[in-house]
Amino acid sequence: MAGLTAEQIEQFEAEGYLVAEGVLDPETILDPVIEEYSEVLDSLIHDLYQREEISSLFEGLDFAERFIKVCIETGDVHKQYFDFSLPFQNVKPDTPFWAGQAVLNAFTAESLLDCIESLIGPEIYSNPVQHVRIKPPEAILPKNQFGNPILGQTNWHQDQGVVVEEADETKMLTVWFAFQDVAIEQGPLKVVPRSHRDGLLTHCTNYHGNGPATVGGRQIPEKLFEADRTIPVPVKRGDVIFLTRRTVHGSLPNVSDTIRWSFDLRYNPIGQHTGRVAFPGFVARSRKHPEQELRDAKVWTQNWLNTREKMSKINQGGQIEVQFGRWKEGHPDCEV
């Protein structure tokens, strides 16, 4: 096992984040994911074209160019077609998701798991708090009711703040990596070093105090942490960012002319609460029971299909709604 160095582990524990360079091999791990998602996008484009929702198949363009064309013509980012998770509510029998083999291979890449083992130990569970983020340039994005781009910059939050209280003691690790170099103009992550030392902070809904560009989502008021310590974290393809569950972070807006494409994953020690029990996780690595490790995407997909069925049809049409917030409107910290 290569894993992280003692110096890297020390930095992670002291600062609350770490950028590990060159963890993922672009050719063997990242490129197959791009090829797999290209087929997903191609299928979506053909469906949209048959329904006369777009004017062309946009053949001869690369993934980013085709994706942007679709977003412009449909006014939609179609994020659910590419995600390896389901929505929190209103799940239907045909709600799309993607849990392909190349994606699973990236989740379980040995070089990545070696680094994760350095931080949380050898019994590693893939936590289902996970998403793919394919963010187009904000200039072309549709707007929400507050006039801000949908799927635009990510507001200030801690990842512990989007799971239920039962997972408060879970040693949850955030793992973030991109499929291309991410420069400042593409909207990389921004982090607040050492903010993980201050515990869990209040997350407010529709808060106006952080500026008009941030209104419209759950976020931590900047008055609750030292926002002036913020640093952006541009990365190269193959680099991985590790965050603690309590590190305050967000992202800058994508003001470039191309997409910003990343995986936002979570891992925790096997047996600890995931914070989202309605969704299926899996054993990514176990030194004690390697036979329990999941490496077959067909099994992974079936787990999500079973979850989709349960969420779309239960108690004669009732809905499971995944709970992930714990703060109610009117909290004193949310007063502007």
Mean pLDDT of 100-129: 98
pLDDT of 213 higher than 80:
yes
Q: What percent of the chain has pLDDT over 90?
A: 81
Q: What percent of the chain has pLDDT over 70?
A: 96
pLDDT of 225 higher than 60:
yes
Give CA 262 to chain center in angstroms. Answer: 7
| Non-local CB neighbours of 233 within 8 Å, separated by 6+ positions | 17, 19, 188, 189, 190, 191, 241
Within the chain, residue ranges assigned H as helices are: 6-15, 31-50, 63-74, 101-107, 110-120, 297-312
Pairing of strands 240-244, 173-178: antiparallel
Tens of pLDDT, residue by residue over 313-328, are 863 455 555 555 678 7
1 located within any domain: no
3 located within any domain: no
199 located within any domain: yes
Percentages helix, strand, coil for the chain, rounded to the nearest 5? 35, 20, 50
Whole-number average pLDDT of the chain: 93
pLDDT of 16 higher than 90:
yes
Q: Which two tokens stand for residue 254?
A: 């994508």
Longest pairwise C-alpha distance within the chain: 56
For residues 217, 103, 35 and 236, what is the CA-based torsion angle, rounded to 10 degrees?
70
Tens of pLDDT, residue by residue over 59-94, are 999 999 999 999 999 999 999 999 999 998 889 999
2 located within any domain: no
Domain that holds residue 49: 10-334
Mean pLDDT of 162-175: 94
203 in Cβ contact with 218 (< 8 Å): yes
Higher pLDDT, 316 or 280: 280
Mean pLDDT of 271-293: 96
Q: Look up residue 174 and give its amino acid.
A: T
Quote the CA–CA distance of 270 and 99 in Å, as a whole number: 21
Q: Please report, for the domain that includes residue 180, its CATH number.
A: 2.60.120.620
Quote the CA–CA distance of 184 and 178 in Å, as a whole number: 13
- pLDDT for 315 equals 39
- pLDDT for 316 equals 44
Number of domains in the chain: 1
Mean pLDDT of 276-288: 95
Quote the CA–CA distance of 82 and 41 in Å, as a whole number: 8
